[in-house]
Amino acid sequence: MTNIKHHLSTSARKTARDWLPSAFDLRDTWFPVAHANHVSSRPVVRMIHAQPCYLWRANGKLLAARFHPFVKSSSSARHTQFTNECGFYPAAEGYGYVWVWYGNPDNVSLDLLPQIPFLHRDGTNIPGYMRTTVRFDACSPLSVENLLDLTHADFLHGEVVGGEGEAQSDTVETSYTSETLTRTRYVFGKPVSPVMRWFGGVRARYQDFRSTLHVHLRSNLCISYPRFSPGFDVPNVQPFVPSGKYRSRVNQIFNLHDAPMPFRRIMPRMAYIVGPQDNSVMRPQTPAYILESAPEDLHSRFDAPGARYRQLMNKLWERQQSGDYSYAGDVDPGADIAHILGMDRAL
């Protein structure tokens, strides 16, 4: 009996260990490492997979380097496989972010910069109050999984955005490519969220909403487009940049130009309430993927988007482990995704 029990627990353990979120170190991708307006002539540092990346501007040119420009360092400390010989990373500016290419500099291409249809490419329509920065004590894939998890908002963020539990209907669709996952949720007849009632002037008791989340797997860039009726759109970008093995940083940008005041100013601030709530459930998960004695990792058919996410990430990781960093023919990160987000149609 003991042997059978031991055997069962070992095979269950193997299944759990098939998902090692902190192991992913996907390359050849653009990371939006900083808000563009936070980078000036004074260097700032951002971490990508625990490697420093200094950002600054000189004579109007954006620079990203392994080294601090005003501190002496040896040339061997400067150069890595992801920088050119002088220690510089490929960098670009777009949609209000500074992007750094993490991977082989020979493979860099601006065509691979993800398109964000509700932000201006030159970043001009983003006031400071629509930007936030939140840090998480969990690796980026755990953060993305949490965002994909549909049940968590009701019990974690109930007083801010909740109420879905009482809706008339609630359906979810998932689609994917080898580099992206899109989850669309349709909710009809849910009580108007408190934040929209108090600050958005929505007087109705019930509202419908469609919320689309488009995830770029390689970079953990999550593009979110919730549309409420009655109400308005709350488009936002949440890029989970892997700053360390068990840390991620999110420079979030909202476009709330169509939302009324004071919602427009208050909603971005909610990130500082919602973020720590998310962190409180993510932080304790990290040891579960490291410790042998950790409980099993279970999921149900209601976690379909999350299960698909794991499968796609494992595939991408296996491909990169075999030395293939190319983008397959079914993806074009720079293509217009307005129709994928449902921006061109009513609920």
In terms of CB distance, is 233 or 278 closer to Fe ion? 278
Q: How far is the CB of 258 from Fe ion (least distance, A)?
A: 23
- Residue from 117, 119, 248, 224 nearest 161 by CA: 224
Q: Token digits for 27?
A: 């390359």
Give me Rg for the CA atoms of the chain: 21
The secondary element (H helix, E strand) that includes residue 277 is helix 271-282
Fill in the DSSP letter of residue 327. Answer: P
Q: CB-side exposure of 328: number of CA atoms within 13 Å?
A: 12
In terms of CB distance, is 145 or 278 closer to Fe ion? 278
Q: How far is the CB of 225 from Fe ion (least distance, A)?
A: 16
In terms of CB distance, is 275 or 333 closer to Fe ion? 275
Candidate list 141, 278, 286, 340; residue touching Fe ion; CB under 5 A:
278
Q: State the number of binding residues for Fe ion (CB under 5 A).
A: 1
In terms of CB distance, is 19 or 136 closer to Fe ion? 136
Spell out the long-range contacts of 121-126 with Cβ–Cβ below 8 A and sequence spacing 24 or more.
121/94, 121/95, 122/94, 123/36, 123/93, 123/94, 123/95, 123/96, 123/97, 125/255, 125/257, 126/96, 126/253, 126/255
In terms of CB distance, is 29 or 224 closer to Fe ion? 224
Q: How far is the CB of 146 from Fe ion (least distance, A)?
A: 6
Query: Residue 164 interacts with Fe ion (CB under 5 A)?
Result: no
Please identify, among the stretches 28-36, 68-76, 85-93, 275-283, the one whose residues bind Fe ion according to the rule CB under 5 A: 275-283
**Residue 43 near residue 56 (C-beta atoms within 8 A):** yes
Q: How far is the CB of 275 from Fe ion (least distance, A)?
A: 8
Q: Which residues bind Fe ion (CB under 5 A)?
A: 278
